[in-house]
Structure 1
Amino acid sequence: MFQLRKLPFGQEEIADFLSAKTFEYHYGKHHQTYINNLNNLLPSSDFQNTDLLEIILKSNGGIFNNAAQVFNHDFFWDCISPNGGELSAELKVAIEQAFGSVEKFKEEFVAKATTLFGSGWCWLVLNEDKLEIIQTSNAQVPMTEGKIPLLVVDVWEHAYYIDYKNARPNYLNQFLNFANWDFASKMFANAKSKGMESIRDYISSLYS
């Protein structure tokens, strides 16, 4: 059985990014509902004693949607930090090689996330040896395409509409002010050395 994870920060620490009301609904209701739904679906499936990554990679339908949304939200919360942190030298070089500069990366990230139609996620991923910005719709995840996530922002309306209304770019720019570059840098280093197993390690750190 999966449980709603504890977060590495309190809501008041990110109040300039997400209000208490948004936080309550997003973390306490939406994220919790995906956990509950997944736990209710697993006993009648072939995935009852399977780790979250395997469920995501091998399931479909309702089980996939809820398992993937559990992961997506877990990862999103870790991509937020009250202090932001700093890019590692290695990740900074990789971003500059892929996008020209860190500022150009941020501009492209905001543009890509702004233009995602409907509900979904915008990711910085490692695709083999190259960084990419990709969009995924609904519950889709990069791992099903063999890509390893490093940073993600949630662009489902429930993630921002209470605070930012229809001004999605304002939400995205503020997300980048709170982006957890320490976490992204750690994920990049692990992805370079372990590949997809770095995601299994990440999940195990939450659900061991």
Structure 2
Amino acid sequence: MILQRLSRQQNALRTAVSSSRCIAPSSASPPQRRWKHHVPTLTNAEQHDFVRNGVPGLLSPDAYGYAWTQYQQMMVDKLNSLTQGADYPSLELCTPEYNAQTKALVVSSARDPNQASLFNHASAAFNNHFFFKGLAIDKTPIPTTLQSHLIQSFSSLETLRKEFIATAASMFGPGFVWLVRRRHRVSAEQFQILVTYLAGSPLPGAHWRQQSLDMNTQSPQSLGGLSAPSNLPSQLTTVQNSVGSMGQYSAQGQAQKLTPPGGADVIPVLCVNTWEHVWLRDWGMGGKEMYLNRWWDRIDWSVASDLAEWESGGRNYEGRNHYISGRGQGQRQRW
């Protein structure tokens, strides 16, 4: 399955993007300005020349070029193809600047089955950018405020590291594992671990396409390597199994706890990409856990701390432009 998936991605990178089915614009809709998506500039990549050097100790130049340059360009080209001449009513109430953001496309298409392809490509572009933007060339210190909250949430930084890596290593399939901050939470356990499979999104507005469960494989026993402390359920934003017909962990019990539209009220601060095309070239078929451990030593914790937005309590996250994968012509990116 891994080789088949890699083969499909390589073929896609070598061929032109084909025209895709999209919703025809309504004749009654007002004309909209065409917003073209571009591969965003990675400040850390320019500063440390990731194209020439790769990410030291994590990704070789070839692996970086494949996982970022080629993959992100493919996602952006597909987004431009999907959005060309299309009309998305949910975006009409947004400002032009907001229209240009890949994040807006993720949120607006998350609940529309007819826009599944648009969601998948927009979310994949957003998630991949989020991952690469948070990389450093060496170990970085964790800012004091962030470190204090992480210790409150996970009892120690070593516990967080072990649980995060074990969670990512246990994923039977590609996706992303996120460290998220619960919005407006001032008590302990502000931070939690969130899993999104494939192109699932951690964004609050895209709650219905979070895709945090692999229903074919997830059970308490499948999380090999976890120490399973007594407070582990509170550290994971979603239980890993929903079997049974009654009780808080049943499907019915989980459905009763769903929040209104807006969904999971969390702020993503960092993530790791577990798609095979990112790590397989450098780390080999059995090297996923080695890749994850090395990634932990390449986290730019200052980026994670900035994203937590301590002063605002997270209230401004939806309006910030930390990670924009698309922008209108003449629009400036803000980081």
- The structure with the largest strand share of the pair is 1
State the number of aligned residues. Answer: 208
Cα deviation, 1:116-174, whole Å, max 9, x if unaligned, reads 12010010001232211111000111112332110100000001001111221100000
Structure 2 residue aligned with 1:5: 40
Structure 2 residue aligned with 1:92: 147
Asked whether the equivalents of residues 126 and 147 of structure 1 are also in contact (C-alpha less than 8 Å), the reply is yes
Say which SS state the counterpart of residue 321 (structure 2) adopts: helix
- Relative to 1, partners in 2 of residues 1:33 and 1:103: Cα closer, same or farther, differing over 3 Å? same
Say which SS state the counterpart of residue 76 (structure 2) adopts: helix
Alignment of 1:36-185 (within 5 A): 36-47=77-88, 50=99, 51-59=101-109, 60-128=115-183, 129=185, 130-143=190-203, 144=206, 145-165=264-284, 166-185=286-305
1:172 maps to a residue whose letter is L
- Relative to 1, partners in 2 of residues 1:52 and 1:3: Cα closer, same or farther, differing over 3 Å? same
Asked whether the equivalents of residues 269 and 308 of structure 2 are also in contact (C-alpha less than 8 Å), the reply is yes
Task: Supply the distance in 2 between the matched residues of 1:94 and 1:193 (Cα, whole angstroms).
Answer: 13
Structure 1 residue aligned with 2:18: none
Task: Supply the distance in 2 between the matched residues of 1:174 and 1:76 (Cα, whole angstroms).
Answer: 14
Task: Supply the distance in 2 between the matched residues of 1:176 and 1:134 (Cα, whole angstroms).
Answer: 16
Task: Supply the distance in 1 between the matched residues of 2:179 and 2:83 (Cα, whole angstroms).
Answer: 30
Structure 2 residue aligned with 1:189: 309
Q: TM-score, normalised by structure 2?
A: 0.58
1:176 maps to a residue whose letter is W
- Relative to 1, partners in 2 of residues 1:206 and 1:101: Cα closer, same or farther, differing over 3 Å? farther
1:27 maps to a residue whose letter is W
Asked whether the equivalents of residues 191 and 198 of structure 1 are also in contact (C-alpha less than 8 Å), the reply is no
Asked whether the equivalents of residues 13 and 82 of structure 1 are also in contact (C-alpha less than 8 Å), the reply is no
- The structure with the largest helix share of the pair is 1
Long gaps (5+) in structure 1: none
Root-mean-square deviation over aligned CA pairs: 2.1
Cα deviation, 1:6-48, whole Å, max 9, x if unaligned, reads 2222221623210111111111211110011011101243348
How far off is 1:192 after superposition? 4.9
Task: Supply the distance in 2 between the matched residues of 1:191 and 1:23 (Cα, whole angstroms).
Answer: 34
How far off is 1:190 after superposition? 5.4
Structure 1 residue aligned with 2:31: none
Asked whether the equivalents of residues 139 and 298 of structure 2 are also in contact (C-alpha less than 8 Å), the reply is yes
Larger Rg: 2
1:42 maps to a residue whose letter is T
Over the matched positions of the two proteins, sequence identity in percent amounts to 25
Task: Supply the distance in 1 between the matched residues of 2:108 and 2:265 (Cα, whole angstroms).
Answer: 13
